[in-house]
Amino acid sequence: MSRELRVINNPPSARPARGPKPEWLRIRIGDPTNQNAVLKLIEGLNLHTVCQEARCPNIFECWADRTATFMIGGDICTRHCGFCAVSKGTAFALDPEEPRHVAEAVSHLNLAHTVITSVNRDDLADGGASHWAETIRQVRALNPGCRIEVLIPDFNGDGEALNSVLDAAPDVLNHNTETIARLYRRVRPDAKYEQSLTLLRRAGERRDRERRGMLTKSGIMVGLGETFDEVVELMRDLRSVSCDIMTIGQYLQPHARRLPVERYVTPEEFARWRDAGLELGFKHVESSPLTRSSYHARQQTDGATPV
């Protein structure tokens, strides 16, 4: 993988990623009581959360509110993204009890909105889509009043796999593009930019055809070498496939073997992206240094309708 990555037209508001993190990236650690309660629950049910696996900076805030994003399909990913802290390698067999355990955890936590994601399972014929669908169905059966948001992989472009997930009727279908097209070879070497757009387009078209209320969503990290205008162009691409919600957050290097941070983006530039996205027609744009895909997920969708 090439290590050549330069910032093009680096805006004045960008801060070089040398030295300590800026003030706006400092994380306030709250009362661990509720965090420990959630941890005890998920360990008892043999579950994983992306909050832990991806080393999310918002874990203290979200777990203090007794919310978590569940990660199904195990904790080993078959892909080699340059930004991700999740372990890579040969995955284990799927746990047939996992869908029920997720449903039970959602019930125990009394969640009004739950987010479910997964590692990539390219070792499976359907990429794990049937496991996804069963998890959605079991969560819905045990928690009929809970809104279900899924953050899915691209299933290698398999339309039938996507339809398996859509058949289970999630309320929000999220698939992250993660970065701009120019940086895919370095940031997401096993993925294709156009394939991610096609997935979102197919989901939106089926939603519109069946007149269901499902929202579509996507997110990216910044600070990897993109320019302001390149992010705006990506926003246009997402709107062209009827994406309703977008998230933009600062990339933070999880450990030394992952891609370095090229720059720290200021809150002012995040606000400019949010304004640009709303002008382009997104229903909601969550854009801030500490934003992650499931950060404020319930608030993003409250009262939202497809656009």
Residues 96-118 pLDDT 10s: 999 999 999 888 888 888 899 99
- Give the tens place of pLDDT for each residue, 79-99: 877 767 677 788 889 999 999
CATH 3.40.50.150 fits 31-301, yes or no: no
pLDDT band with cut points at 50, 70 and 90 for residue 74: confident
Identify the DSSP state of 114: E
Residue located via tokens 């978590």 = 68
pLDDT of residue 87: 73
- Give the tens place of pLDDT for each residue, 110-163: 888 889 999 889 999 999 999 999 999 999 999 999 999 999 999 999 999 999
**Is the model more confident about 142 or about 18?**
142
- Give the tens place of pLDDT for each residue, 264-304: 999 999 999 999 999 999 999 999 998 987 666 666 676 56
pLDDT band with cut points at 50, 70 and 90 for residue 27: low
pLDDT of residue 48: 52
pLDDT of residue 83: 67
b/e burial code for range 82-119 (CB count within 10 A of at least 16 → b): bbbbbeeeebeebeeebbbbbbbbbeebebebbbbbbb
In this structure, which long-range contacts are made by residues 4-9, counting pairs with CB atoms below 8 Å and at least 24 apart in sequence?
5/183, 5/186, 5/224, 5/225, 5/262, 6/225, 7/225, 7/227, 7/262, 7/263, 8/225, 8/227, 8/230, 9/227, 9/228, 9/229
- Give the tens place of pLDDT for each residue, 245-260: 999 999 988 777 779 9
Identify the three-state secondary structure at position 221.
strand
Identify the three-state secondary structure at position 164.
helix
Residue located via tokens 């983006």 = 265
